Amino acid sequence: MIKSIDFAQLYRQHLARSGRLFKTPDDWDRKAASMRTSVLDSPYRTDFVRRVQCAADDTVLDVGCGPGTIGLALAPQVRQVYGLDYSQGMLDALLQNAKELRLDNVQPVLASWDDDWSAVPVCDIAVVSRASIVADMADALDKLNRHARKKVYLTQLVGGRFDSREIAELLGREDRSFPDHMYIINLLYQRNIHPTLDYIESPSRLAGSASLEQLTEKVRASFGELSAEEQEKLTAWYQRDPAYAQQGGEPTRWAFMSWTPPAHQSAG
């Protein structure tokens, strides 16, 4: 029954309903300088990299590499890292970071998810960190399976939203979430792939509010102006459990999925 459901189409419909706009390469080029070093040291990065199993002779394809958040952390452990991104500015930042870290085994690849990947190197490992909100998830997974011999490691935002699900539901705001990891799990299942699933947690964007006033400002920044009724709901939520509210409610969760591409399962 599950294998007869068109999850690829459901994914596309959900993505369209979310109204998500994809950033252009120029958008990311403008962000590259400010992001170049700011993303290279974080608990998320540490949690991702420690889950990756690699060997000294392995090659790694870092898809949506940005300035090298994951790829540069893996580079000292492997033979070669290929950083794939559709932003030349991000690839320039990747190479600058590699140079400063004295890494000589990092090579840029200018390409997007939508491009023909016939010239993209086939590697032992493919990693996709926070870069898998794509127009066609089925095609993206097929590309990854063709370009990884041993393993794919990928993260996807649980719940499909960066703002707080709890607060959105509390305020009665429209659900504009984009497709989350459950589509990926089902699409992989239809390919007879059963991924390992884990979670990486980060503090909510609303965390760090020492008072109701500070929380209200953070909520306004995420959701816009609040009506009197919405402010009453937020106040009541805060007062029920101030310690929980000061943490911003539930954390942001990234689903960490790993699997062996089907063509190589017998060897892995």
All structural domains of the chain, each given as residue ranges with its CATH number in brackets, are 2-205+250-260 (3.40.50.150)
How far apart CA 165 and CA 234 sit, in angstroms, is 13
Token pair 């032992």 is at which residue?
124
Sign of CA dihedral 121, 123, 128, 133: positive
- In this prediction, residue 197 carries a pLDDT of 98
Q: Which DSSP string do the residues of 36-92 spell out, in sequence order? A: TTTTSS-HHHHHHHHT----TT-EEEEET-TTTTTHHHHGGGSSEEEEEES-HHHHH
Task: Return the structure tokens found at 236.
Answer: 């009541």
Residue 253 pLDDT grade (very low, low, confident, very high; cuts 50, 70, 90): very high
Q: Can you give the pTM of this predicted structure?
A: 0.92
Residue 196's H or E segment, with its range, is: strand 196-202
CA atoms within 13 A on the CB side of 176: 12
Give the pLDDT score at 21.
87
pLDDT score for 266: 42
Residue with tokens 């500070």: 214
How far are the Cα atoms of 87, 130, 133, 185, 260 from residue 26, in angstroms, in the given order?
A: 7, 19, 18, 32, 34
As a whole number, the mean pLDDT across the chain is 94
Q: Does position 3 have pLDDT exceeding 90, yes or no?
A: no
Instruction: Write the DSSP symbol of residue 3.
Output: G
Percent of the chain predicted with pLDDT > 70: 98
Q: What is the token pair recorded at 22?
A: 């994809």
Is residue 264's pLDDT more than 80?
A: no
**CA angle, 123 then 153 then 97, to 5°:** 70
Run of H or E including 27: helix 25-35
Residue at token pair 């990756």:
52
- Picking from 158, 159, 182, 198, the residue whose alpha carbon sits closest to that of residue 50 is 198
143-194 per-position pLDDT tens digit:
999 999 999 999 999 999 999 999 999 999 999 999 999 999 999 999 999 9
Cross-strand partners of 127: 62, 153
The rounded distance, in Å, linking the Cα atoms of 94 and 40 is 11
Crossing angle of helices 88-100/25-35, nearest 10°? 20
